[in-house]
């Protein structure tokens, strides 16, 4: 296994280790639950995520991660088309054609919190394409206390000037699912 890139410490700070996709290969191979979403489910999920948030916000208390370890994979072209069609992006990302994206999720025992790492491969026909790991982790927190704290923070920042639509967008960013 290749060694991770280690960035030197500056001014007494702790050195930073930058992991690559290969660091998670064993976890991915051993992942007991895998979902490969069809384009219809990818489209429906993306449309729900970018639609009026009232429906989604109303049922967040019902959501749980179904397992402590799982893999979810989708066709990025379908996902990016929905992002463009909902006007969440000015242009369609043509580079998404042929790209497969997946997220390795590690959840708490109660399913209310999770950390996700996103991977992708830009290969339509080549099964040996390089896999890229996003440098960002996605932290998911479905606990009611987190949502309430987030709501209070957003309403304090916004005052009474924020429209309902903008408030929903802000909450969606805070509750990234």
Is 37 domain-assigned?
A: yes
Is 28 domain-assigned?
A: yes
Q: How far apart are CA 49 and CA 98, in angstroms?
A: 22
Q: Which two tokens stand for residue 126?
A: 């080549």
| pLDDT for 139 beyond 90 | yes
Count of structural domains, the chain: 1
Confidence (pLDDT) at 126:
58
Is 79 domain-assigned?
A: yes
Is 137 domain-assigned?
A: yes
Helix (H, G, I), strand (E, B) or coil at 40: helix
Q: How far apart are CA 177 and CA 167, in angstroms?
A: 17
Is 101 domain-assigned?
A: yes
Confidence (pLDDT) at 160:
34
Residues forming a β-bridge with 99: 122
Q: How many C-beta atoms lie closer than 10 Å to residue 154's C-beta?
A: 18
Is 174 domain-assigned?
A: no
Mean pLDDT, the chain, integer: 77
Its pTM surpasses 0.85: no
Is 121 domain-assigned?
A: yes
Confidence (pLDDT) at 108:
96
What are phi and psi for residue 37, nearest 5 degrees? -75, 135
| Per-residue confidence band for 4, with pLDDT thresholds at 50, 70 and 90 | low
| pLDDT for 145 beyond 90 | no
Is 8 domain-assigned?
A: no
Q: How far apart are CA 140 and CA 67, in angstroms?
A: 14
Categorise residue 109: left if φ over 0, alpha if ψ from -120 to 50, beta otherwise: alpha
Sorted by sequence, the CB contacts under 8 Å of residue 104 that are 6+ apart come out as: 24, 27, 28, 31, 69, 70, 71, 116, 117, 119
Sorted by sequence, the CB contacts under 8 Å of residue 48 that are 6+ apart come out as: 55, 56
**pLDDT tens string 112-130:** 999 999 999 986 555 667 8
Q: Which residues span the domain enclosing 122?
A: 23-141
């Amino acid at each position: 296994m290749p060694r991770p890139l280690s960035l030197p410490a500056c001014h007494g700070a702790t050195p930073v280790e930058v992991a690559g996709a290969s660091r998670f290969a064993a976890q991915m191979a051993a992942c007991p639950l895998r979902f490969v979403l069809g384009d219809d489910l990818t489209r429906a999920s993306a449309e729900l995520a970018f639609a009026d948030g009232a429906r989604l916000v109303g049922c967040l208390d019902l959501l749980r991660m179904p397992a402590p370890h799982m893999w979810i994979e989708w066709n990025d072209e379908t996902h990016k088309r929905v992002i463009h069609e909902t006007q969440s992006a000015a242009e369609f990302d043509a580079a998404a054609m042929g790209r497969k994206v997946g997220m390795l999720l590690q959840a708490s025992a109660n399913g209310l919190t999770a950390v996700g790492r996103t991977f992708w491969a830009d290969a339509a026909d080549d099964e040996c394409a390089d896999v890229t790991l996003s440098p960002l982790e996605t932290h998911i927190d479905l606990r009611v206390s987190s949502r309430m704290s987030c709501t209070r923070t957003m309403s304090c920042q916004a005052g009474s000037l924020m429209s309902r639509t903008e408030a929903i967008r802000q909450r969606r960013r805070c509750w990234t699912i």
